[in-house]
A and B are shown apart, each in its own frame.
Chain A
Amino acid sequence: MTVIPTKPPTRRTSAGGWDNFQRRYAPYIFISPFFVLFLIFGLFPIIFNAYLAFHQWTPGTGLGEMKFVGFRNFADNWTDPTFWQSLRNTAALAVESGLPQHLIAIPLAFAIHTGLKKAQHLITAVYFLPYITSVVAISVIFFTLLSWQYGVINAILGALHQLPLIGGLFPGEKVNWLGEKSLVQPSIAAVIVWRYVGWNMLLYLSGLQAIPGELYEAAAIDGATKSQQLRYITLPLLRPTIFLAVTLSLIGGFQLFEEPFILTNGTGGTSGAGLTTIMYMLRTYVSYTEAGLAAAMAWMLFVVIGILTVVNNLLFGRSGLAGNEGRR
Chain B
Amino acid sequence: MKIQRLLAVTALLTLSLASAQDKTVLTVGVFPDLDSVVKAALPGFYKLYPNIEIKINSLAYGDHHNALTTALSTGKGANDVEAIDFGYVAKFAEGNGMTDLSKAPFGAGAYKDQFLSFTFPQATTQDGRIVGMPTDIGPGSMFFRTDLLAKAGVRPAQMNASWESYIENGKKVVAANPGTFLIPDASEAASIILRTGLKSGDGLYFDKTNKVLISPSNPRYVRAFTIAKAIRDAKLDAKAGGAFSPEWTTAFQKGNLATEFSGAWLVGHMQNWLAKDFAGKWNAQDLPGKTFASWGGSFYGIPAQSQNKDAAWTFIKYMTTDKNQQVLAFKTTGAFPALKAAPRDTVFAQGVAYLGDQKARVIWRNAASKITPIDVNKLDSVAEQIVNDALTTVLDGSKDIPTALADAQRLVERRTR
- On whether the two chains bind one another, the answer is yes
Q: Which A residues touch B92, using CB under 8 A?
A: 60
* Residues in B126-159 with C-beta less than 8 Å from chain A: none
A63→B74 contact, CB < 8 A: yes
| A267 lies within 8 A of B247 (CB) | no
Closest to B88 in A: A60
A62 to B95, CA, bound (A): 8
Pick the contact of B75: A63, A76, A150 (CB < 8 A): A63
In the complex, A217 has a CB within 8 A of chain B = no
Residues of A with C-beta under 8 A to B70: 59
The interface bits of chain A over 27-68 (1 if a CB of B lies within 8 angstroms of the residue's CB, else 0) are 000000000000000000000000000000011111101000
A265: chain B residues within 8 A (beta carbon): 241-242, 245-246
Map CB proximity to A onto B63-95 as digits: 1 under 8 Å, 0 otherwise. 000001110111100000000000000011011
Is there an interface contact between A81 and B385, defined as CB atoms closer than 8 Å? no
The answer, yes or no, to whether B396 is at the interface (CB within 8 Å) is: yes
Asked if A62 contacts B247 (CB within 8 A), the reply is no
Bound complex: CA A80 to CA B96 (Å): 29
With known contacts A62-B72, A268-B389, A148–B247 Cβ distance under 8 A: yes
Q: Mark A266-286, 1 if CB is under 8 A from B, else 0.
A: 011111100000000001000
Which residues of A133-148 have CB atoms within 8 Å of chain B's CB atoms? 143, 147-148
**The stretch of A90-98, A173-181, A189-197, A298-306 that contacts the partner chain:** A173-181
Confirm or deny: A79 has a beta carbon within 8 angstroms of a beta carbon on chain B. yes
Known pairs A61-B96, A65-B96, A150-B254; A288 contacts B241 (CB<8 A) = no
With contacts A180-B396, A265-B242, A267-B241 taken as known, whether A149 is within 8 angstroms of B414 at the C-beta atoms is no
Contact of B95 with A60 in the complex, beta carbons under 8 Å: yes
The verdict on A62 contacting B96 (CB below 8 Å), with A82-B411, A143-B246, A268-B389 known, is yes
Chain A residues whose C-beta falls within 8 Å of the C-beta of B385 in the assembled complex: 283, 287-288
A270 touches B73 (CB 8 A): no
What residue in chain A is nearest B415 (Cβ atoms)?
A: A288
Is residue A289 contacting chain B, with contact meaning CB distance below 8 A?
A: yes
Interface residues on B, range: 35 or more
Given A62-B72, A150-B250, also A271-B396 (CB < 8 A): yes
Which B residues are in CB contact (< 8 Å) with A63? 73-75
Q: Are A62 and B238 in contact (CB-based, < 8 A)?
A: no
Q: Is B382 an interface residue (CB 8 A)?
A: yes
What separation, in Å, do the CA atoms of A61 and B68 have in the docked complex? 11
Q: A148-B239, A289-B91 are in contact. Are A60 and B396 (CB under 8 A)?
A: no
Complexed CA–CA distance, A306 and B399 (Å): 35
For B382, the chain A residues whose CB sits under 8 A away are 287-288
B297 is an interface residue with CB less than 8 A from chain A? no
Given contacts A147-B250, A272-B389, contact A62 B75 (CB under 8 A): yes
B256 touches A149 (CB 8 A): yes
Q: Which residues of A contact B75 (CB under 8 A)?
A: 62-63
Instruction: Enumerate chain A residues within 8 angstroms of B94, measured Cβ to Cβ.
Output: 58, 60-61, 289
Q: Which of B69, B250, B398 touches A59 (beta carbons < 8 Å)? A: B69
Cα-based distance from A174 to B254 in the complex (angstroms): 17
Q: Among residues 157 to 183 in chain A, which have CB atoms less than 8 Å away from a CB atom of chain B?
A: 176, 179-181
Question: In the assembled complex, which residues on chain B have CB atoms less than 8 Å from the CB atom of A287?
Answer: 381-382, 385
Contacts of A288 in B (CB 8 A): 381-382, 385, 415
| Contact A62:B250 (CB < 8 A) given known A149-B238, A267-B241, A271-B398 | no
Task: Pick the residue among B95, B239, B393 that contacts A271 (CB under 8 A).
Answer: B393
B316 at the interface (CB under 8 A from A): no
Q: Is B337 an interface residue (CB 8 A)?
A: no
The chain A residue sitting closest to B398, CB to CB, is: A271
For window 228-250 of B, CB contacts with A under 8 Å fall at 238-239, 241-242, 245-247, 250
Neighbouring B residues of A272 by C-beta, 8 Å: 389, 392-393
Q: How far is the CB of A235 from chain B (nearest CB, A)?
A: 41
| B97 in contact (CB, < 8 A) | yes
B246 adjacent to A79 (CB under 8 Å): no
Q: Which residues of B contact A62 (CB under 8 A)?
A: 72-75, 95-97
In the docked arrangement, what's the CA distance between A272 and B72, Å? 32
Within 8 A of A (CB), among B82-129: 91-92, 94-97
Contact bitstring B388-415, A, C-beta under 8 A = 1, else 0: 1100110110110000000000010011
* Selected A-B contacts with CB under 8 Å, 23 pairs: A58-B94, A60-B91, A60-B94, A60-B95, A61-B73, A61-B96, A62-B74, A62-B75, A62-B97, A81-B411, A143-B246, A147-B246, A150-B247, A150-B250, A265-B242, A269-B392, A270-B393, A270-B395, A271-B389, A271-B393, A271-B396, A288-B415, A289-B94
A-B complex: 9 closest residue pairs judged by Cβ atoms = A61-B95, A60-B72, A143-B246, A270-B392, A270-B396, A271-B393, A60-B69, A265-B245, A179-B239
Q: Which residues of A pack against B, CB within 8 Å?
A: 58-63, 65, 76, 79-82, 143, 147-150, 176, 179-181, 265, 267-272, 283, 287-289
